[in-house]
Chains A and B, each alone.
Chain A
Amino acid sequence: MANIVHFEQVGLRYGTGAETLSDVSFTLAKGGFYFLTGASGAGKTSLLRLLYLAQRPTRGRIGLFGEDAGALPRRSLPALRRRIGVVFQDFRLVPHLSAYDNVALPLRLAGVRESAIDAPVREMLEWVGLSARATAKPPTLSGGEQQRIAIARAVIARPELLVADEPTGNVDPEMADRLLHLFEALHRLGTTVVMATHDLHLIGRIPQAHRMRVEKGRLVDPTGALLHPPGQA
């Protein structure tokens, strides 16, 4: 199976402090499902930020979709980012847009025709159970509703890589199961899913998923499924 992500001796340091991530090396196979676990402050969100190109590493090499993401010029990043769906821990919905328009945003940014946007957005809102709230602005939505809109926005463009930071942290167990089902469906369609979570119940729901654990800025590989370091598994 082809690799979609390749980290090689990656280190990340904010300012002049100690390294938040040190010597992180792993490879993610295309179409895999990965859970990222670890204590709060261990470096999960930093690792995800590197994955969705919000951050460049201080050292090491990051390969994404076969490209050396760390060496790419800025102007090449948008095209790469459009292949990645991101569910932010704090949702990051645009507060002045309706739920509908937040979900439609990735398609519009990608230049999809207005006539081709309505059906997928409606379908996605239905999936997350928020069809009736399509015109609501994020500040009027509950935390769980905002999270579902954020997930709908992340998956609407059928990304090749889906990066989700605690995507079920604000929803009830029933909705968490439903959202996980959505991620599974995307995974079955070929999307590589990387999900940071503390929820052991969720991890248990997908037995074929690999588990990555971050401890004090270093990656641990409890399942042995990851190539660590690459090519030596």
Chain B
Amino acid sequence: MKGLVPQRAIDRGLLDRGHHARIMIGIMAIMLFLTVLSAALGLGVTRAVGDLDRGFAGKLVVQLVEPDARVRDARAQALVARLNAMPGVQRVVEADRERLAALLRPWLGDSGLDPDLPMPVLIDVEVPADRVSAAIAAARSVAPDVRVDRSAAWLAPVRRFLATLGAVAIGLVLVIAAAAAGVVLLVTRAGLDTHRDTIEVLHMLGSTDHQIARLFQRRIAIDTLLGGAAGAGAALALVALLQARLAQIGFGVLGGAGLGAADWGVLALLPAAFALLATAAARMAVLRALARQL
């Protein structure tokens, strides 16, 4: 008869599982599905914002408008030389004028190539983000009337939108986590009602509140992990599909929204995190309820 029923089986057997377990698993699967999607969105958007910050924070376009072509060319050369002389500068390139004229051709026709037309000189500059002000000052020391466009400035609304989207996604994760904790509290309280007689017997046999709480914790943790694995698995598959589609687009802001290995790791850990949260919620609910009994 030895080893007739393993200890863990006895612990589980003390609390009849029944159809409540399936409901709990189903709810947790849905919760984790939504959580993983929200978290993936949050992580992807955070990456995209980081990419924007890294990619555009140090990018400038210096515009030099000068009607006299000779003066313009001389000042442009001086500008390029001055900017190239700056410490830490990564890139100083004057835009190809023929290419500019080609871009203007649909509006100006061939007159866009007329050397007398006062086309501005555009210089792409890339410096470390903390050197932007110095670069602008350097450009203005050569040509005080240059116009400097910071790429980060015109991308600021996009960045704000992405940052807001990221915050909303993280908020959603927190809301779903709170809802999951609420569900666990309700399920645990229902379980306490269902098993009132068994719990009373356990108390009379000398069981401590912590022993009884562990029965509920174990059950809730298992249900959360089972449901979480199913929901998170489905969500991860969906995120992988979306990532593959994103890679096919592969440009600009969206290109930076792809998830890295660490992000996938975080998403894969969410079911375990939810199981821990659910365990803590169940423990709190049981201990509080039992404290009201003798």
Q: A residues engaging B (CB < 8 A)?
A: 52-56, 74-75, 77-79, 81-82, 86, 88, 92, 94-98, 100-101, 104-106, 108-110, 114-115, 118, 121-122, 134-135, 153
Q: Are B14 and A94 interface neighbours, CB within 8 A?
A: yes
Q: Which of B193-250 contact A (CB under 8 A)?
A: 197-198, 200-209, 211
Q: Are A106 and B2 interface neighbours, CB within 8 A?
A: no
B291 adjacent to chain A (CB < 8 Å): yes
Interface segment, B5-13, B24-32, B61-69?
A: B5-13
User: Which listed residue (A74, A77, A96, A109) contacts B13, Cβ 8 A?
Assistant: A96
How far, in whole Å, are A196 and B95 apart by their CA atoms in the complex?
Answer: 103
Q: Are A108 and B204 interface neighbours, CB within 8 A?
A: no
A residues less than 8 Å from B4 (CB atoms): 98, 100-101, 134-135
Q: Are A96 and B205 interface neighbours, CB within 8 A?
A: no
B residues less than 8 Å from A100 (CB atoms): 1, 4-5
B16 adjacent to chain A (CB < 8 Å): yes
Q: Are A106 and B294 interface neighbours, CB within 8 A?
A: no
Q: Are A109 and B205 interface neighbours, CB within 8 A?
A: yes
With A95-B16, A114-B7 already in contact, the answer to whether A56 and B294 are too (CB < 8 A) is: yes
With A74-B291, A96-B16, A110-B206 already in contact, the answer to whether A101 and B1 are too (CB < 8 A) is: no
A residues less than 8 Å from B16 (CB atoms): 95-96
With A108-B7, A135-B4 already in contact, the answer to whether A82 and B291 are too (CB < 8 A) is: no
User: Which listed residue (B15, B200, B206) contacts A82, Cβ 8 A?
Assistant: B206
Q: Are A105 and B1 interface neighbours, CB within 8 A?
A: no
With A74-B291, A77-B294, A108-B10 already in contact, the answer to whether A52 and B204 are too (CB < 8 A) is: yes
**What is the number of contacts between chain A and chain B, taking CB atoms within 8 Å?**
82
Q: Are B10 and A106 interface neighbours, CB within 8 A?
A: no
How far, in whole Å, are A97 and B11 apart by their CA atoms in the complex?
Answer: 9
B3 adjacent to chain A (CB < 8 Å): yes
Which residue of chain B is the closest to A135 with respect to CB atoms? B4
B279 → chain A closest CB, angstroms:
21
A residues less than 8 Å from B198 (CB atoms): 94
Taking residues whose C-beta sits less than 8 angstroms from the other chain, chain B's interface range is 20 to 34
How far, in whole Å, are A89 and B201 apart by their CA atoms in the complex?
Answer: 12
A residues less than 8 Å from B294 (CB atoms): 53-56, 74, 77
Q: B residues engaging A (CB < 8 A)?
A: 1-5, 7, 10, 13-16, 197-198, 200-209, 211, 291, 294
How far, in whole Å, are A95 and B197 apart by their CA atoms in the complex?
Answer: 10
How far, in whole Å, are A56 and B1 apart by their CA atoms in the complex?
Answer: 39
Which residue of chain A is the closest to B14 with respect to CB atoms? A94
Given contacts A81-B203, A108-B7, 14 further A-B contacts (CB under 8 A): A52-B204, A54-B200, A54-B294, A74-B291, A75-B208, A78-B203, A78-B208, A82-B205, A97-B5, A101-B5, A118-B1, A118-B3, A134-B1, A153-B205
A residues less than 8 Å from B205 (CB atoms): 81-82, 86, 105-106, 109, 153
How far, in whole Å, are A101 and B2 apart by their CA atoms in the complex?
Answer: 11
How far, in whole Å, are A105 and B1 apart by their CA atoms in the complex?
Answer: 15
B residues less than 8 Å from A53 (CB atoms): 204, 294
B49 → chain A closest CB, angstroms:
51
Which residue of chain A is the closest to B12 with respect to CB atoms? A96
Q: Are A97 and B206 interface neighbours, CB within 8 A?
A: no
B136 → chain A closest CB, angstroms:
69
How far, in whole Å, are A106 and B208 apart by their CA atoms in the complex?
Answer: 12
A residues less than 8 Å from B201 (CB atoms): 88, 92, 94
B residues less than 8 Å from A105 (CB atoms): 10, 202, 205
10 contacts between A and B (CB under 8 A): A54-B204, A81-B204, A92-B197, A92-B201, A98-B5, A100-B1, A100-B4, A109-B205, A109-B206, A114-B7
